[in-house]
Chains A and B, each alone.
Chain A
């Protein structure tokens, strides 16, 4: 039997072995109403058992909406978001997993979208900075970033916020030092770190 996380931090693992977070549960059903039917995981297995070569159709579920792009298998999720879907909130700072500006959530977990192939993100729930606010209402961490001035130029900000949302959700923001360590995968050259910690800690505190 696998012994992964204390249940109070992560919630029980779903039967299919993938991890889902509140993001998935919160993911809008509304967005699906007008979208083409989304291929379920079981169907996708069959669908993808062939070799994907050259420009092919891919379906990505981003912020609750299924979007179709035509792209080569070498296209990363980051470039799919930025260049194919005009979701430019996720940033390219290094393209090599060394800065965190491209951080998005996949099935609720924070990842570097620059080292994720779009073709491999199919069938998963992708949440980007554009999907965090509910209509006009900002996510509490977005509000806290504004209040605590958790950014200057703004280029690392999307990644910081996505990482911060996950950090809080993981239970890794229960002290300033813990928060600093678990937010260290997101570089900020303007040096907003103390303000980022203040914002993440405030939201983590309000949540607990």
Chain B
């Protein structure tokens, strides 16, 4: 492919890509017709409920199910003593790798308890109420041991891992000579940032409905961000060929990372269904959501920064310590964004871990980038304040014209435009340079900003397009739509690629019987799936071109295929657009009812042909290509702090991002707003509290774990910078699911600093912390 997709600049000319099309699944969602994983009324369906552990560490000495079994309607109770065996478990490193499991431990495979609320039994009954009550009647006796609650526990042993993030990030990296550079720097800032545990808490809890259609064939309706990954995990665990495990996810009620992997409740449900010979549905309770699908780990980061008197960065040294599980070395890779956000010749990052009695943490929206950006963006704000420099000026002074971490050029970067446009929309010039100096009645008013960045991750996928002679098309890819708009934007891409109107296109997703697509995670889905569809459409056009140039009745007869292009559903000569014909005319004449094309959208295979071949290898890492590929943006925040009551409210918000091609202005705006709100939650209120002694959460509910409510959120302004990236993928789409959250906490914290003159480096910034900062006195 050597040209930018032709509809790129075409909104005004009738193209639909980029337009603010209403969601094609909107009607299903506003009428309650959209069915989620727990909403398939299969014949004979029964209900599974997890019984979980009261203790965080020890051994089960006895499980007494006598009382539970006697309850009416109870069909079976599975414990470690009678759970059917799996072909593979994640309990060994090899097993974990083959399964792609997020945690190196599957409950009910032994009598050991490693974390609080670890599942100890699955109770199946004919109604939800009976299963739930029977689960509470299972009597579990334990031999209890003293658990370790976190890396802060005096009993915890801190260690230096070789790798973190499941082997994806080095435990220690260095570039240049940061220590001596720091020692030689006239300005040195060192600060420590802490983060509470966060839980994803999508509105739809984790849900599995397992239906064995034959002894060796199962269909699983699953709340997952990736049907393929779930299929792979289950087929490995069950020892079944992949095509005998079908996973369906037509709608999913949010994920944010916690549904990106196959967690224990899924195989447990599938096993229970097999054992009893009936379909089983298991839905996690909201409290169970805090201990079943991972979390963002509790962590502390220390960032040391060296700079010249003018404000040029000379050294960045980052150290992170966090809690991990008894089996896995998981930590978010905070350092990556710190390594590349600004020009700095010397850099060092170190990860430290401690094992505690917790489940393995997992990726949560902008994993690493969210907390990492909090540290670097607050430190940059400190540096600006110390120098008496405008925070945007400081960032421009340290602007990275190429990727400092690799030395490679950016595939595209429009961050300067983001700063300029964001500042203009927000009214940044009206900001009083002095912190703690703006009052509105009882409120202290502050303005803050932060930079956002997120990588375009390596991924690839496939799609199929079937174009019918009657002028409609069915387009398929086994992707998922988390609410990000996949159904809608892919319909738009297919329509423009085929020269059809959107009402003539049906896009199908969420089924392992469809062409394979990547997980909807890491912001890869939009770019990969849209590119797959675009290329599948090109495949269709190439096939049609071949037919046309061989057909004597075609105006294109005997044209060279490379001289033929397509536009709005017509095959035409490149140098004489008047010569050509509609696909429908050609197909009808040839008595073709339909024609099919397939496409493989790849990371790095952009429309600049030079890149495509070298980087389009799924075995390559993110940095395999000749360019560094990232989206960039900014958030601007105004807060009103009540210094006496300690409350912080966001009163204005502006986000400006550049993320390549934006496929739908409406859904993209919503996604940026949503990510910003997610970040405001982490900045101001979200924290899961683990008791130090019991290693057990004390606030596992939506009443006590606060996520933002409507009244917390002001009107928000979002804009995108028009950006054409010829390298990232065929559609030039970078993805916006995560960048929307990066830098948000820092923008809020910087606004709080500007309002109060006090720097709060511990998230969330609750009234307690504001009061303890001593602003009022």
Contacts and interface: CB of A to CB of B under 8 A. Distances in A.
Contacts of A157: 29-30
A152 B671 contact: yes
A154 B29 contact: yes
Contacts of B285: 95
A89 B31 contact: yes
B385 to A, nearest CB: 30
Nearest to A132: B31
A182 B23 CA distance: 26
Interface string A147-176: 101011111111001000000000000001
Contacts, number: 180
Interface string A169-195: 000000011011101111111111111
Interface stretch (B252-260, B417-425, B556-564, B690-698): B252-260
A66 interface: no
B706 to A, nearest CB: 10
Contacts of B537: none
B129 A79 contact: yes
A46 B28 CA distance: 41
Contact size range, A: 35 or more
A142 to B, nearest CB: 4
Contacts of B710: 179-181, 183-184, 186, 188, 193, 196-197
Nearest to A129: B32
Given A94-B286, A138-B31, A153-B203, A191 B708 contact: yes
A83 B128 contact: yes
B447 interface: no
Nearest to B286: A94
Contacts of B30: 129, 138, 142-143, 145-146, 151, 157, 161
A152 B716 contact: no
Contact of B201 (A95, A161, A179, A189): A189
Interface stretch (B50-58, B629-637, B673-681): B673-681
Contacts of B110: none
Contact of A189 (B22, B32, B39, B202): B202
Task: Give chain A's interface secondary structure class.
Answer: loop
A142 B673 CA distance: 21
A95 B286 contact: yes
Contacts of B41: 86
Nearest to B674: A191
Interface string B687-730: 00000000000000111000111111111100000000000000
Task: Give chain B's interface secondary structure class.
Answer: loop
Contact of A190 (B32, B128, B674, B715): B674
B251 interface: yes
Contacts of A156: 203, 253
B68 interface: no
A48 interface: no
Interface string B457-499: 0000000000000000000000000111100000000000000
B33 interface: yes
Contacts of A90: 32
Instruction: Tell which of A72, A181, A186 has the most Cβ of chain B within 10 Å.
Output: A72
Contacts of B333: none
Given A191-B673, A194-B713, A154 B702 contact: no
Given A83-B128, A129-B31, A157-B30, A176 B202 contact: no
Interface in B1-60: 22-23, 25-36, 38-39, 41
B129 A98 contact: no
Nearest to B484: A152
Contact of A149 (B39, B670, B675): B670
Contacts of A147: 22
Contact of B713 (A82, A88, A133, A191): A191
B432 interface: no
A90 B677 CA distance: 24
B666 interface: yes
Nearest to A139: B30
A194 B673 contact: yes
A110 to B, nearest CB: 14
Contact of B202 (A72, A128, A155): A155
A90 B703 CA distance: 20
Contacts of B150: none
A60 interface: no
B551 interface: no
Contacts of A88: 32, 35-36, 39
B205 interface: yes
B203 A181 contact: no
A188 B252 CA distance: 14
Nearest to B709: A184
Interface residues of B, number: 61
A161 B29 CA distance: 10
A148 B675 CA distance: 17
B127 interface: yes
A142 B29 CA distance: 9
Interface in A87-113: 87-96, 98-99, 101
A188 B23 contact: no
B645 to A, nearest CB: 18
B239 to A, nearest CB: 33
B483 A190 contact: yes
Given A145-B30, A184-B709, A186-B710, A193 B677 contact: yes
A79 B483 contact: no
Nearest to B254: A153
B670 A98 contact: no
Contacts of A188: 203, 710
A91 to B, nearest CB: 7
A112 B482 CA distance: 25
B292 interface: no
A145 B26 contact: yes
B667 interface: yes
A75 B128 CA distance: 9
Interface in A42-65: none
Given A186-B710, A189-B707, A197-B710, A149 B674 contact: no
Contacts of A149: 22-23, 666-667, 669-670
B283 interface: yes
Given A79-B128, A184-B709, A155 B204 contact: yes
Contacts of A191: 673-678, 708, 713
A190 to B, nearest CB: 5
A177 B712 CA distance: 10
B701 to A, nearest CB: 6
A147 B23 CA distance: 9
Contacts of A151: 26, 29-30, 483
Contacts of B36: 88, 91, 155
Instruction: Tell which of B30, B254, B286, B670 has the most Cβ of chain A within 10 Å.
Output: B30
**4 cross-chain pairs, A with B, having the tightest CB-CB distances, nearest first:** A89-B32, A155-B253, A152-B483, A153-B483
Given A180-B710, A184-B710, 17 more contacts: A71-B127, A83-B127, A86-B41, A98-B701, A99-B286, A130-B33, A151-B30, A153-B254, A154-B29, A157-B30, A177-B711, A179-B710, A187-B707, A191-B673, A191-B676, A193-B708, A194-B713
Interface of A: 71-72, 74-75, 79, 82-83, 86-96, 98-99, 101, 128-130, 132-133, 138, 142-143, 145-147, 149, 151-158, 161, 176-177, 179-181, 183-197
